[in-house]
A = this chain, B = another copy of it.
Amino acid sequence: MIDFQTHPDRYKHWKLAVEGEVAYLTMDVDETGGLNPGYELKMNSYDLGVDIELYDAVQRLRFEHPEVHAVVLRSGKDRIFCAGANIRMLGGASHTLKVNFCKFTNETRNSIEDASAFSGQRYLCAINGTAAGGGYELALATDHIILVDDGNAAVSLPEVPLLAVLPGTGGLTRVIDKRKVRRDLADVFCTVEEGVRGQRALDWRLVDELVASSQFAEKVRERASEIARDSDRPASGPGVTLAPLAREIKEDSLRYPNLTVTLDREQRVATLTLRGPQVDPPADADGIQAEGCRFWPLALARELDDALLHLRFNELELGTLVFKSEGGLHRIVAYDDLLAVNQDHWLAREIILYWKRTLKRIDLTSRTLIAIVEPGSCFAGILAEVVFAADRSYMLDGQFEDDDRPPATIRLDDFNFGALPMSNALSRLETRFLGEPDSVQAARGLIGRDLDAATALEAGLITFAPDDIDWEDEIRILLEERGSFSPDAMVGMEANLRFPGPETMETKIFGRLTAWQNWIFQRPNAVSEKGALKLYGTGARPEFDRNRV
């Protein structure tokens, strides 16, 4: 089982050091510490295990260190920044693992950019030597790249010439769309094995600053302090400690305090039941801080995040995720209100941003997403976003026989109208009602009302509202049918239908770049026994089918 829970005390590959308002995240990969046998993580190359630690560090910096305003990514090795994803690891990995690995690393890079953009915690990258492939892509996720000018240090994306695959962590997109490197220069850059160094790297906008070796450490420190000055984060702590998750993993279930996941392997369905809060929210931001990681919205976000990653990596055959909820609708609204009122408080802001990322993680999970709204459910505000993230939603119209709970309702609040955008930069309701601003406006008018199935259906907020008589059959047929389709066709269809409207760097990375990479990962030129990825390091030359597709 791949476990995404870790702690700085257990890191093998990264060192996290906080020096006042600047944190240093130093990559010093343990060659022998790979997640799987069969490869050595030489030259600061990485596998999923390295990236799990990075993700953990990025999360902890946000919650545990409000006083950190700038983060420097740097290397602990001499004259090597990072050689990128380990090639032998990739060569030996299944198609599914490669794809899942790339998606997770992409999401972590995005979470770095999210911290820089929204959290007042900006990232810098100090490249002290070679930054190749995923190493340079890591740098690309930061706001400011400083390259040592020693005649040797270079940035490169050598995947195409060396491995016959694409840079898989957003490199192509970030080079042209974020750093706005001219497309013909980008073409040159991406085909030069040894990369680009010194002045040319600066001229082509591949890096932001060039510093002589002798001044490197000092300049990095200086730049980090400068950048830290602009932050709107608090000047000092305390932060909120992210305690280990209380998690119980069994053969057919995954239980957290606020979330239960049941696994139906025969039907290939995982059902995630989100539980509403057991107590009323605290009175104010101090109360949130005092509850820390037990504060219900933060606790549930962490659990949901962990469960999604678990399902993605450890439960490959469960093609459908069913989302349910149980709890008091009005208590959830009270939590949302508390967060909304305190959205400028660093911790409330972090929690809202974490929900934004976690909901994006749902959008980007390539499983069918079904939301089921039944009596006893509590899809309100932030939680209602789960319904709008789903490919389809079913809401029972009325009550079940022999169940005297009142009919299900859903509630909208301000969080459904902008604070939790999808990767396409629209809210889920704007995406849902693309080209129908009136429908979005009408939904806004429903804020604060308890919406029963008929009202929700009329407003276009749900897909279907069967009654008690049809309910069981409809859900059964839906799940059976979905389970009978080709998983690949589902992946492709959902990846297209979920993201109408505008595109952003993120949707380009997950839509365009990832799709091409997935294609290449299936092609013999890369992955057959005579493909470049398999033969790398053996000295043998790959054999290519020369047909252009």
Contact = CB atoms under 8 A, between A and B. Distances in A.
Interface of A: 95-96, 99-100, 159-161, 163-166, 172-173, 175-177, 180, 182-188, 190-191, 268, 316-319, 366-367, 390-393, 431-436, 460, 463, 481-482, 485-498, 500-503, 507-508, 511-513, 515-520, 522-523, 525-526, 532, 542, 544-549
Contacts of A190: 493, 497
6 contacts: A160-B490, A161-B481, A165-B489, A184-B393, A186-B497, A515-B518
A431 B180 CA distance: 10
Nearest to A525: B486
User: Chain copies in the assembly?
Assistant: 2
A166 B496 contact: yes
A180 B434 contact: yes
A188 B519 contact: no
A28 to B, nearest CB: 31
Nearest to A494: B187
Nearest to A522: B522
Query: In this complex, which of A188, A393, A544 has the most chain B Cβ atoms within 10 angstroms of its Cβ?
Result: A544
Contact of A392 (B173, B184, B502, B544): B184
A367 B496 contact: no
A248 B182 CA distance: 38
A2 to B, nearest CB: 15
A546 B185 CA distance: 42
Contacts of A498: 183
Contacts of A191: 481-482, 485, 493
A231 to B, nearest CB: 25
A496 B182 contact: no
B546 A431 contact: no
Given A183-B431, A497-B187, A485 B161 contact: yes
The 8 closest A-B pairs by CB, nearest first: A515-B515, A164-B486, A503-B503, A492-B516, A176-B500, A180-B435, A522-B522, A172-B496
A492 B520 contact: yes
A434 B542 contact: no
Contacts of A520: 488-489, 492
B500 A160 contact: no
Nearest to A99: B549
A416 to B, nearest CB: 16
A495 B512 contact: yes
A487 B547 CA distance: 7
Contact of A319 (B163, B319, B546): B546
Contacts of A523: 486, 488, 522
Contacts of A549: 95-96, 99-100, 366, 487-488, 491, 518
Given A164-B488, A180-B436, A184-B390, 14 more contacts: A165-B489, A180-B435, A183-B500, A187-B391, A187-B494, A187-B497, A191-B481, A367-B548, A488-B519, A488-B520, A488-B523, A488-B526, A492-B519, A518-B549
A5 B82 CA distance: 54
Nearest to A433: B182
A133 B472 CA distance: 31
B546 A268 contact: yes
A482 B191 CA distance: 9
Contacts of A488: 164, 519-520, 523, 525-526, 549
A391 B488 CA distance: 32
A174 to B, nearest CB: 10
Nearest to A505: B500
Nearest to A504: B503
A183 B432 contact: yes
A548 B317 CA distance: 6
Contacts of A460: 182
Contacts of A546: 268, 316-317, 319, 487
Contacts of A490: 160, 548
A218 B185 CA distance: 58
